[in-house]
Amino acid sequence: MNFGETMKFFDREKEINKILSIIEGEPNLIYFIYGPINSGKTALINEIINNRLDKDKYIVFYFDLREIFISKYDDFIEVLFEEYEDDKSPIEVIKAIINDLPSLYGIPIPKNTLNEIFKKKTTKNVFRYITNVLMEIKKEGKQPIIIIDELQKIGDLKINGFLIYELFNYFVSLTKHKHLCHVFCISSDSLFIERVYNEAMLEDRVDYILVDDFDKETALKFMDFLIKENNVSLTNENKELIYSYVGGKPVLIIKVIDKLRYENLNDVLDFMLKDATQKLKYFLEDVKEEDEELYKKVVDTLKIFKENYEVEDITIPKKIREFLVKRNILFLNPIEGTLKPQSFLIWNAIKRIL
């Protein structure tokens, strides 16, 4: 078993059971799966898609915006659709490929229809086509599910108004009004989540599922799991030391234990902390060069975290907290109203520099 697989399977049963319970019910709400960077959100969804869903009951459309540059309407359309040449109906195309794949990465569309949609450049035609395909899937006795990863990437894209608002309106129609399709949106951008959370049009139409870094007890159990799988030897003192450096971020724990196959633990941890410290130091240097006043405010803000890992969000002025969240120094949880460093490594770097 490789490390990538390991992360998927470990101790996310609470979140998995919640998502499966939602999927088994009637579509009613848009669900946001959110959390700090690299907390395992995508791995969790992949585990559900690949190993927990009955392919005879569900058809998943998974759109990953993470590595796609979206600057215009055509880019967005290309993400949503997979064009095909022949004269089959979209549902026939879906039937032909869904048996081999746990999820589809685009909604099948005949080339001629796609060309018409490109010409007209209105979301109305796009959404009408998608709805018809989803209704056909329902007629086949299956439940469609739409999952969009890193949705915030289209946050500022304008079509008529902002594309994001048109999309949300459409998702509300699919879930709350038509009860046609489950919709899950994944994001590590906590400012985007805050924007959604405060959006009046989405009140009572959205719910949130936090996928956070592991707490200490779970992180230590995760280390035990990795040690067993990869024949690495660690004392309890070693495990405590790892936690003190990287906390409960799964990807960092994996990184440390992977490197133990050919490096000394203290060297591994020392290098990771030096790396995080240098990056933070250069970040502060850039801020100072650009704006001395902002630099002073940022330093004063970061000093708060010398004694605290988590603080109430309004402890820090809105502009400064948004600046630090945008730069991935801090993670904002708008539902809990808290702020914390994006990782223990960043927290340790803050304490080392300041």
The pLDDT value recorded for residue 124 is: 87
Tens digits of per-residue pLDDT, 47-91? 999 999 998 999 999 999 987 888 777 888 888 999 998 778 999
Percentage of residues in the chain having pLDDT higher than 70 = 96
**Cβ–Cβ < 8 Å for 58, 142:** yes
Tens digits of per-residue pLDDT, 203-262? 999 999 999 999 999 999 999 999 988 888 899 999 999 999 999 999 999 999 999 988
Nearest residue to 207 via CA among 33, 13, 4: 33
The pLDDT value recorded for residue 176 is: 96
Banded model confidence at residue 159, pLDDT cuts 50, 70, 90: low
Query: Which has more confidence, 319 or 121?
Result: 319
Report the alpha-carbon distance of residue 354 to residue 349 in Å, rounded: 8
Banded model confidence at residue 2, pLDDT cuts 50, 70, 90: very low
Query: Which has more confidence, 183 or 67?
Result: 183
Tens digits of per-residue pLDDT, 13-59? 999 999 999 999 999 999 999 999 999 999 999 999 999 999 899 99
Summarize the confidence of residues 252-281 as an average pLDDT: 96
The pLDDT value recorded for residue 7 is: 42
Residue 160 pLDDT more than 80? no
- The region of weakest confidence among 5-9, 167-171, 337-341 is 5-9
The pLDDT value recorded for residue 78 is: 87
CA 287 to chain centre: 28
Nearest residue to 156 via CA among 165, 147, 148: 165
The per-residue b/e assignment along 325-336, b for 16 or more CB within 10 angstroms, e otherwise, is: beebbbbbbbee
The pLDDT value recorded for residue 230 is: 82
**What separation in angstroms does the CA of 22 have from each of 30, 31, 182, 217?**
11, 9, 8, 28
Cα dihedral 318, 324, 325, 328, rounded to 10, equals 180
Strand pairing class (182-187; 143-149): parallel
The pLDDT value recorded for residue 224 is: 93
Tens digits of per-residue pLDDT, 132-149? 999 999 999 999 999 999
Percentage of residues in the chain having pLDDT higher than 90 = 76
